[in-house]
């Protein structure tokens, strides 16, 4: 395996395109590396993209731009401290245990920066809520661009034991002939 170390890669002509690898190649970015965007490019380093940190957060923490967090407030309220916002920065949060209504998630802006035009904390207090924020400018600050106050979960069915089971469409029937016990 070869290794090339450079500070900048530029095209040989003024076409503005640099190709890394060939079709079907995989380009690997090591853990902890940062990809930045120096303009309005899309794809790698484009603004507004979220990578989810699947380590649940159970205590106050400082968010990092470009990261989404699963917040577990079942043990108490949590505060998310925001980094200094720059246009295009983003972050997201999701109610890991469906307990924001009991123990709120507070989002605290950095210094005098704003959330939705107000230099105040934002409080998420709806069960199952998730929110996605993008930093727009110093006037509005962090704008909530996607907010879900619904939480889609698998369907829970009543279960039963005992008797002889049979099905009728979505229904389970338990037949007991003579003596027996059916527990629901």
Could you give the dihedral angle defined by the CA atoms of residues 137, 140, 144 and 145, in that order, rounded to the nearest 10 degrees?
-60
The better pLDDT of the pair 168, 27 is held by 168
User: What's the confidence (pLDDT) of residue 122?
Assistant: 95
- CA 82/CA 60 separation, integer angstroms: 11
Q: Is the residue at 80 inside a domain?
A: yes
Q: Does residue 136 sit in the same domain as residue 177?
A: no
Q: Say yes or no: 101 and 158 in one domain.
A: no
> What integer best gives the mean pLDDT of the chain?
82
Tell me which residue range forms the domain holding 171.
Answer: 154-184
Chain segment 20-52, per-residue pLDDT in tens: 777 777 777 666 565 554 444 444 444 557 899
Both 143 and 158 in one domain: the answer is no
> From the CB of residue 141, how many other CB atoms can be counted at a distance below 10 Å?
21
Per-residue pLDDT at 39: 44
pLDDT at 151: 63
pLDDT confidence of residue 115:
95
Say what the pLDDT of residue 1 is.
Answer: 64
For residues 144 and 64, membership in a common domain is answered with yes
Q: What is the pLDDT of residues 83-139, one digit of tens each?
A: 999 999 999 999 999 999 999 999 999 999 999 999 999 999 999 999 999 999 999
* Of the candidate ranges 71-85, 95-109, 136-150, the one whose mean pLDDT is the lowest: 136-150
H or E stretch including 142? strand 141-148
Q: Is residue 44 part of a domain?
A: no
């Amino acid at each position: 395996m070869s290794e090339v170390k450079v500070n900048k890669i530029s095209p040989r002509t003024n076409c503005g395109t640099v190709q890394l690898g060939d079709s079907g190649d995989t380009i690997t970015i090591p853990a902890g590396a940062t990809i930045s965007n120096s303009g309005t490019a899309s794809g790698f380093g484009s603004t507004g993209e979220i990578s989810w940190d699947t380590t649940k957060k159970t205590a106050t923490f400082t968010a990092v731009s470009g990261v989404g967090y699963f917040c577990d407030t079942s043990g108490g309220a949590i505060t998310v401290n925001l980094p200094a916002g720059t246009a295009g920065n983003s972050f997201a949060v999701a109610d890991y245990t469906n307990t924001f209504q009991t123990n709120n998630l507070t989002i605290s802006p950095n210094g005098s920066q704003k959330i939705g035009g107000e230099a105040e904390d934002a409080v998420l207090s709806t069960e199952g809520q998730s929110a996605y924020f993008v930093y727009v400018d110093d006037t509005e600050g962090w704008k909530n661009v996607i907010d879900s106050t619904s939480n889609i979960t698998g369907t829970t069915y009543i279960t039963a034991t005992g008797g002889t089971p049979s099905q009728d469409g979505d229904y389970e029937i338990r037949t007991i002939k003579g003596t027996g016990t059916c527990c629901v």
